[in-house]
């Protein structure tokens, strides 16, 4: 069974982050440049929140606020669901499904070491299922 550490080994462990005192405009610009849907919000070396496209849509656009004048800390989600390196892909899928989450920051000794998305989890699940099917077909034929 695959774990988060296996996902990060395959996709890389780049952490895209923003400070809570940065403007939302800067954060959205970084998301566009990095082609990601969320950023870890880090103050010093501590994870203090997460900023997603959903936060932006609901807390800036729908409230007619200015991206340039609004700070990340004002719209971020402060209570972040995180996972460790040894958490299984299945457990991550359950967390995302139950919590309606799309991104899970990965912590190791309290530090953010990566981020997994629902897309990463779906891809890993499909890959694992294909491998199982292939093995079963080989067993039946062989």
Domain count, the chain: 1
- The CATH number of the domain where 71 resides is what? 3.10.580.10
pTM: 0.88
Task: Say what percent of the chain tops pLDDT 70.
Answer: 99
78 lies in which domain range? Answer: 4-141
From CA 47, how far away is CA 82, in angstroms rounded?
10
Q: Is residue 132 scored above 80 in pLDDT?
A: no
From CA 29, how far away is CA 8, in angstroms rounded?
24
Query: Please, what is the angle between helix 89-99 and helix 4-11, to 10°?
Result: 90
The pLDDT tens digits for 42-94 are 999 899 999 999 999 999 999 999 999 999 999 999 999 999 999 999 999 99
Torsion of CA 50, 55, 59, 65, to 10 degrees: 90
């Amino acid at each position: 069974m695959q774990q988060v550490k296996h996902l990060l080994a395959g996709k890389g462990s780049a952490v895209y982050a923003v400070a809570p005192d940065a403007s939302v405009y800067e954060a959205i610009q970084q998301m566009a440049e990095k082609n990601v849907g969320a950023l870890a919000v880090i103050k010093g070396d501590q994870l203090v929140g997460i900023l997603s496209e959903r936060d932006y849509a609901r807390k800036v656009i729908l409230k007619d606020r200015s991206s340039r004048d609004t700070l990340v800390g004002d719209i971020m989600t402060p209570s972040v669901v995180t996972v460790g390196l040894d958490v299984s892909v299945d457990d991550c899928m359950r967390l995302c499904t139950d919590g309606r989450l799309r991104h899970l920051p990965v912590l190791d000794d309290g530090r953010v070491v990566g981020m997994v998305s629902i897309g990463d989890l779906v891809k890993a699940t499909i890959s694992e299922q294909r491998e199982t099917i292939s093995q079963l077909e080989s067993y039946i034929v062989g």
